[in-house]
């Protein structure tokens, strides 16, 4: 039964693999199939089971990033209804804390996943997300919501995100960008589903039961993922949370700094576009949610097409640089939007390029890692590093909005400049890679 389950991830030829028993606290049966090094070093790069992993990872992203990308709905609702005494900057800490914990915990969860604890991490994260939503449905104060929605769901996201991505990267090399694009497409779909759910149910059953309905969606989807996701990498021995050799990799370090600055700006619109629509353009809440759904929905294009181009034509880092520069330019252009139609058009273009940024950087980062047994650790290191800008980006923007008397230009300039600076570091990373390639040739 065990060998039958593992066969889809192996080639049909060359069945020369070694079966060994080894102890694992994460395996109820304390037995596992240990793939030989030669089999493990040759990812299938396709096949139904490999693509199934990408599809299930997409479902994970739907329930983690999809909910995060929908925070604009919460930002507006809390500001106008539930937390009217709090300023936008304070409310934005709830969403920023979710993103921060998702990234910050990446170093820990990625390393533990490499060690063979993926199953325990996934189950724990799923429980925390569902529990956090249920707690949010009963919350009535700012600190209760910050703890339930920010901390509980944030930790749960952190336990799922990096391990799920690292599982998929072990199945692909030549088609990795496409696989990452499929994974990232879930966040765009979730960015449509959750605002639509909120918009449809809130007027009928109220805030509390709407959040409980979202918890049910999370429970069903994450249960399916827990059953189907399987890593093909044999567990590695316990190691530190950081790979010190990675700090000597100039291209890797420049990439980390590039994404550090990029994350200061890229989530600004998703957090504030709903509030911007109601306060600056005087749109209704339903119209504002529609704009957020458009921004998230077109992200499906931005998460698939650029990854296809990256795999077959330009390379993931090259396309990522173009996407980051384009996103920065689009944020600057937001300054000149003055009506609802203009905002819809802007949301379409911004949604595509910003989604490309969010989907391409995991693929570009994984391509900087030659030893795939370290993919979880190296990805986790960068995610933890960039988590601090994910935490502070939206609150800084909110503070700039407050200082400008409710206007958005200062925040838009800050976010746009952050992306341009980040793009410069990514260009440096690409130049270092080019020199290495030229030297080898």
- Averaged pLDDT for residues 233-262: 82
Choose the final residue of a domain: 42, 59, 74. 42
How many residues would you count in the chain?
Answer: 441
Residue 12, pLDDT > 80, answer no
* CA separation for the pair 102, 118 (Å, rounded): 16
| Domain match, 184 and 210 both | yes
pLDDT band at 239 (very low <50, low <70, confident <90, very high): low
pLDDT score of 45: 77
Confidence (pLDDT) at 127: 97
Residues 324 and 402 in one domain: yes
**Quick one: pLDDT at residue 379?**
75
Is the pLDDT assigned to residue 6 strictly greater than 80?
no
For residues 208 and 143, membership in a common domain is answered with yes
Average pLDDT over residues 288-310: 88
pLDDT category at 373 given cuts 50, 70, 90 is low
Same structural domain, 19 and 52: no
CATH number at residue 286: 1.20.1250.20
- pLDDT at residue number 436: 60
Cβ–Cβ < 8 Å for 73, 195: yes
3-state secondary structure of 233: coil
More confident residue, 129 or 11: 129
H helical segments located in 229-315: 250-266, 268-279, 285-297, 299-309
Residues 116 and 1 occupy one common structural domain: no
Using DSSP's 3-state secondary structure scheme, residue 298 falls into coil
Based on the domain organization, do 26 and 73 belong to the same domain?
Answer: no
**17 and 55 fall within a common domain:** no
Residue whose structure tokens are 């693509």: 51
Q: Which of 329, 381, 385 is nearest to 354 (CA)?
A: 329
Residue 165's pLDDT is: 84
Residue of 239, 193, 238, 236 whose CA lies nearest to 216:
193
One domain for residues 123 and 20:
no
Q: Which is it for the CA torsion 69, 72, 77, 79, positive or negative? A: positive
Q: Write down the number of H helices and E strands in the chain.
A: 18, 0
d(CA 389, CA 366): 21
Torsion of CA 231, 263, 285, 218, to 10 degrees: 10
Percentage of the chain lying above the pLDDT 70 cut: 87
User: pLDDT at residue 146 above 50?
Assistant: yes
How does pLDDT run across 73-96, given as a tens digit for each residue? Answer: 898 899 888 998 888 889 999 999
Q: Are residues 431 and 387 in the same domain?
A: yes
Do residues 155 and 273 both lie within one domain? yes
Q: In the structure, what pLDDT confidence band is assigned to residue 27 with cuts at 50, 70 and 90? A: very low
pLDDT, averaged across the chain: 84
Record the pTM: 0.78
Count of domains in the chain? 2
- The CA–CA distances, whole Å, from 370 to 12, 85, 175, 329, 364 equal 25, 51, 15, 33, 12
For residues 376-388, average pLDDT: 81
Q: What distance in Å separates the CA atoms of residue 116 and residue 27, rounded to the nearest whole number?
A: 9
| Same domain (yes/no): 64, 112 | yes
Shared domain for 12 and 111, answered yes or no, is no
Residue range(s) defining the domain that contains residue 7: 1-42
Distance CA 343, CA 340 (A): 5
The closest alpha carbon to 255, from 35, 422, 95, belongs to 422
């Amino acid at each position: 039964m065990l060998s039958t389950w593992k066969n889809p991830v192996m080639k049909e030829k060359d069945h020369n693999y070694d079966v060994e028993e080894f102890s694992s606290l994460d395996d109820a049966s304390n037995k596992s199939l240990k793939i030989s090094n030669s089999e493990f070093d040759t990812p299938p790069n396709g096949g139904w089971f490999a693509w199934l992993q990408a599809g299930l990872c997409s479902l994970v992203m739907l329930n983690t990033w999809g909910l995060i990308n929908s925070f604009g709905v919460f930002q507006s609702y809390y500001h106008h209804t539930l937390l009217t005494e709090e300023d936008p900057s304070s409310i934005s800490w709830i969403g920023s804390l979710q993103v921060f914990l998702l990234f910050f915990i990446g170093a820990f969860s990625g390393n533990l996943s490499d060690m063979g604890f993926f199953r325990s991490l996934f189950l724990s994260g799923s429980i925390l997300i569902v529990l956090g939503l249920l707690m949010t449905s009963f919350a009535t104060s700012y600190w209760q919501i910050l703890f339930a929605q920010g901390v509980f769901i944030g930790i749960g996201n952190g336990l799922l995100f990096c391990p799920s991505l690292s599982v998929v990267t072990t199945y692909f090399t030549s088609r990795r960008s496409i696989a990452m694009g499929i994974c990232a497409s879930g966040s765009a779909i979730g960015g449509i589903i959750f605002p639509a759910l909120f918009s449809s149910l809130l007027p009928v059953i109220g805030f509390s039961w709407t959040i409980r309905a979202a918890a049910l969606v999370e429970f069903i989807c994450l249960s399916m993922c827990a059953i189907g996701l399987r890593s093909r990498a044999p567990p590695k021995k316990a190691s530190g949370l950081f790979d010190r050799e990675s700090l000597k990799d100039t291209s890797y370090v420049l990439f980390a700094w590039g994404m550090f600055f990029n994350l200061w700006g890229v989530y600004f619109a998703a957090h504030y576009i709903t509030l911007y629509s109601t306060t600056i353009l005087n749109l209704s809440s339903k119209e504002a949610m529609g704009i957020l759904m458009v921004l998230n929905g077109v992200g499906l294009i931005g998460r698939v097409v650029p990854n296809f181009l990256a795999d077959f034509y330009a390379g993931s880092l090259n396309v990522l640089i173009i996407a980051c520069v384009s996103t920065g330019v689009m944020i600057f252009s937001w300054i000149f939007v003055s009506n609802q139609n203009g905002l819809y058009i802007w949301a379409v273009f911004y949604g595509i390029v910003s989604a490309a940024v969010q989907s391409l950087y995991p693929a570009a980062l994984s391509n900087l890692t030659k030893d795939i047994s370290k993919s979880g650790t190296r990805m986790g290191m960068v995610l933890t590093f960039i988590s601090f800008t994910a935490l502070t980006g939206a609150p800084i923007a909110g503070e700039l909005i407050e200082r400008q008397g409710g206007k958005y230009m200062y925040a838009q300039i800050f976010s746009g400049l952050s992306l341009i600076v980040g793009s410069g570091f990514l260009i440096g990373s690409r130049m270092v890679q080019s020199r290495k390639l030229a030297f080898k040739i």
